[in-house]
């Protein structure tokens, strides 16, 4: 599936089913009952501009962040790789979110990730630590178990509890900002899987099956907003990437309060490499975390 077909398929999915909401083309006014779309897909080359257009379509970040709130922004920051490899969220997108949150009066904006590579190297080489600090955020370590607190996951079948970073539990608002890419174990990294970087014992998740444990993390505290960066999508060699990794120049940014819908749309993009839709998306839908059927999702497409 190429990029053009993906965009058309999103439109068709939303318009074809009579029970689904109609597709909203660029600059087309939404019906009164659909004040904002469920999901926005923005095509472009400038990630900051793409972010601005996505948030405008969703009603602005002020729908999610209010004055005085503590905001946690959770990027992919797990790998000691340069931004050009697309192994981590881009510094430019993180900067835009931090600046926007602080401009709205957030009392504090925090950033962290439980990295896979050495945390100091990952924070530095990704460019995200410096970008976050320059924009006014507090960057916290996540490399010690003492930073985490165990909580129960009501309704979970495979992961009855998990230890979340204290900043995750303390935050008034969580913004989930992954980069879309291939993953050798889970097939795909996007919104749902990105929360693995907010917990301590990921070994238990692997032992109990990623397809069930990944969505069960959302039974604790759901992010208010999910923004999936899909500009340069790693199709092979993920999640860290290799010298011979293949990429898709998708030029997309997806944004939604629904992590399931945004992952279902992300799966359409990464299908370019023949990667099948991860089973954890369907499991997340069954847990009531969102909609995996894109024909039931009001999607707005924009180009900048």
What does the alpha-carbon distance between residue 77 and residue 205 come to, in Å, rounded to a whole number? 19
Look-up of token digits 């931090």: 98
What pTM, to 2 d.p., does this model score?
Answer: 0.88
**In CATH, what number is assigned to the domain containing residue 18?**
3.40.50.11440
Residue 256, burial from CB neighbour count under 10 angstroms (0-12, 13-18, 19+)? buried
**What are the pLDDT tens digits along the chain (304 aa)?**
444 434 444 444 333 322 233 223 333 344 434 589 999 999 999 999 999 999 999 999 999 999 999 999 999 999 999 999 999 999 999 999 999 999 999 999 999 999 999 999 999 999 999 999 999 999 999 999 999 999 999 999 999 999 999 999 999 999 999 999 988 888 899 999 999 999 999 999 999 999 999 999 999 999 999 999 999 999 998 889 898 899 999 999 999 999 999 999 999 999 878 888 999 999 999 999 999 999 999 999 999 9
Question: The domain containing residue 211 runs over which residues?
Answer: 3-303
The H or E element spanning position 210 is helix 210-216
Q: Which of 186, 229, 197 is nearest to 72 (CA)?
A: 197
Cis peptide before 239 (omega within 30 of 0): yes
Dihedral, 230, 236, 239, 243 alpha carbons, nearest 10: -110
What does the alpha-carbon distance between residue 124 and residue 133 come to, in Å, rounded to a whole number? 11
What's the structural domain count of the chain?
Answer: 1
What does the alpha-carbon distance between residue 5 and residue 269 come to, in Å, rounded to a whole number? 9
């Amino acid at each position: 599936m190429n990029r053009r077909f993906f965009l058309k398929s999103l439109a068709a999915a939303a318009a074809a089913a009579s029970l689904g909401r109609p597709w909203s083309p660029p600059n087309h006014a939404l019906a009164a009952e659909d004040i904002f779309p469920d999901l926005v897909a923005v095509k472009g080359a400038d990630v900051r501009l793409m972010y601005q257009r996505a948030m405008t379509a969703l009603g602005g970040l002020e729908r999610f962040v209010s004055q005085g709130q503590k905001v946690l922004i959770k990027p992919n920051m797990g790998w000691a790789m340069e931004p050009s490899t697309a192994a981590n969220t881009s510094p430019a997108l993180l900067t835009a979110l931090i600046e926007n949150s602080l401009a709205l009066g957030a009392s504090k904006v925090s950033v962290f990730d439980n990295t896979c590579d050495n945390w100091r190297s990952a924070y530095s080489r990704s460019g995200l630590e410096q970008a976050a600090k320059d924009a006014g955020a507090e960057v916290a370590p996540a490399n010690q178990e003492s930073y985490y607190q165990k909580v129960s996951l009501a309704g979970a079948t495979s992961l009855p509890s998990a230890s979340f970073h204290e900043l995750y539990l303390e935050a008034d608002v969580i913004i989930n900002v992954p980069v879309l890419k291939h993953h050798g174990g889970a097939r795909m990294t996007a919104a749902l899987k990105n929360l693995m970087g907010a917990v301590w014992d990921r070994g238990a998740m692997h032992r109990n099956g990623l397809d069930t444990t990944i969505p069960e993390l959302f039974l604790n505290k759901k992010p208010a907003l999910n923004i999936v960066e899909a500009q340069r999508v790693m199709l092979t060699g993920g999640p860290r990437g290799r010298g011979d990794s293949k990429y898709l120049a998708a030029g997309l940014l997806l944004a939604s309060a629904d992590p399931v819908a945004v992952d279902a749309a992300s799966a359409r993009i990464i299908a370019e490499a023949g990667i099948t839709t991860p089973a954890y998306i369907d499991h997340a839908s069954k847990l009531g975390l969102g909609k995996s059927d894109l024909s039931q999702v009001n999607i707005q497409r924009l180009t900048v």
